[in-house]
Structure 1
Amino acid sequence: MTEQIQCPACDAEFTPRRKNQKYCSDNCRKRKSRHAARGSRKVAHNWDERRRSQMRKTKLTDLTNALYEMPPRYRAEFLERLIAKARSNAELRMWLTRRDLLKAWYMDGTGRIGIGHSLDHYCQEVYGQRSYEVLNPENTLPAHDALAFPAEYFGPDHPPVYEDGCLRLRPCPWSAWKVSRERAALMQRRRSMHAEAIAA
Structure 2
Amino acid sequence: MAHESRIPLSRLDPNAPLVLDTRALSRQPGSSREQVLRVPAPEDFGIEMVGVPAGAAIELDLRFEAVLEGVLVTGTARVPLKGECARCLDPIASTFEADFQELFVYSDTRSGGHADDDELRLEDDLIDLEPVLRDAVVLALPLSPLCRDDCPGLCPECGVRLADAEPDHGHAVADPRWEALRGLAGGGPSSDGGAPGGTSSGG
Q: For this structure pair, what is the TM-score category when the shorter chain's length is used for normalisation? A: under 0.3
Structure having the higher Rg: 2
* More helix by percentage: 1
Work out which structure has the larger RCO, using CA pairs closer than 8 Å and 6 or more positions apart in sequence. Answer: 2
* More strand by percentage: 2
TM-score by length of 1: 0.25
